């Protein structure tokens, strides 16, 4: 990775996009990161490199949003998310790189199309059962691709929470989920010296992405930016499926 120009070509925009998303701007678009990195490196390595960066960005975000989250909804979502992470961990060793690319391609393509077609349209407030299903799915897709945003949004958006409460709940949810993922990632040997070194080199970009997201919140149309990223998710998803199949 350290000497691969293609990796850095995709890693720089991928980490910046994730940081922008973590700032609360165009939330959920960070799901593009691992599928984009998987164009240059193995999907498992891409997820492993991103995890320490996500935890660092979670730390920055939780400091800003702590105390404004909704504990009741987190109690619905988080236990189910842990189960989703455990299921993904059990299946992980059974999947080769092509299978992982198929999963990533489907996740990227599916969530991209979902966002483009449905946008922020919401239905009636979901039940706790729906919340647990969304939490389970978010845990699974977060483990595989750090792409838990769309399932989480499917539960939180219809609740019509105040913006601060919505963002704070999402921030705390992913902070806990990403810390939990450290355990199975370590057991799978993904948290190793090379991956950590690459993550450390990308930390300044993660910091810059968060700051950039805060800076451009009032200068760029959130909906337009999100739409561009969703289109990229569709294109990257198609490319990953084409490569795998």
Q: Which residues contact 121 (CB under 8 A, 6 or more apart)?
A: none
Dihedral angle, C-alpha 199, 202, 208, 214, nearest 10 °:
-40
Inform me whether the pLDDT recorded for 160 exceeds 60.
Answer: yes
Inform me whether the pLDDT recorded for 237 exceeds 80.
Answer: no
pLDDT: is 103 or 226 the higher one?
A: 103
Residue (of 7, 144, 135) closest to 74 by Cα position: 135
Can you read off the two tokens belonging to residue 65?
């949003």
Per-residue pLDDT, averaged over 70-88, amounts to: 94
Q: 28 falls in which pLDDT band (50, 70, 90)? A: low
Q: What span, in angstroms and rounded, lies between the C-alpha atoms of 67 and 127?
A: 24
Please state, for a pLDDT cut of 90, what percent of the chain lies above it. Answer: 19
pLDDT in tens, 191-230: 888 888 989 999 999 888 888 877 776 666 667 766 776 7
| 135 CB neighbour count, 10 Å cutoff | 28
Give the pLDDT score at 225: 64
Inform me whether the pLDDT recorded for 15 exceeds 60.
Answer: yes
């Amino acid at each position: 990775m350290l000497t691969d120009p293609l990796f850095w070509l995709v890693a720089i925009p991928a980490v910046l996009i994730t940081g922008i998303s973590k700032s609360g701007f165009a939330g959920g678009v960070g799901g593009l990161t691992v599928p984009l990195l998987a164009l240059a490196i193995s999907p498992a390595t891409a997820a492993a490199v991103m995890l320490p960066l996500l935890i660092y960005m979670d730390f920055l975000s939780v400091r800003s949003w702590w105390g404004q989250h909704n504990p009741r909804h987190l109690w619905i979502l988080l236990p189910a998310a842990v189960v989703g992470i455990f299921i993904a961990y059990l299946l992980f060793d059974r999947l080769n790189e092509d299978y992982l690319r198929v999963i990533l391609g489907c996740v990227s393509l599916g969530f991209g199309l979902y966002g483009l077609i449905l946008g922020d349209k919401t239905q009636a407030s979901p039940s706790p059962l729906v919340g647990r299903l969304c939490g389970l799915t978010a845990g699974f897709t977060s483990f595989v691709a750090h792409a838990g945003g769309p399932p989480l949004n499917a539960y939180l958006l219809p609740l019509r929470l105040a913006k601060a409460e919505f963002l704070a709940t999402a921030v705390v949810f992913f902070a806990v989920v990403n810390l939990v993922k450290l355990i199975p990632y370590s057991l799978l040997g993904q948290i190793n010296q090379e991956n950590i070194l690459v993550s450390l080199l990308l930390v300044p970009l993660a910091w810059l992405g968060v700051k950039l997201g805060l800076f451009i919140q009032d200068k760029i149309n959130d909906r337009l930016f999100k739409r561009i990223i969703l289109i990229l998710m569709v294109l990257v998803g198609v490319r990953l499926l084409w490569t795998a199949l």
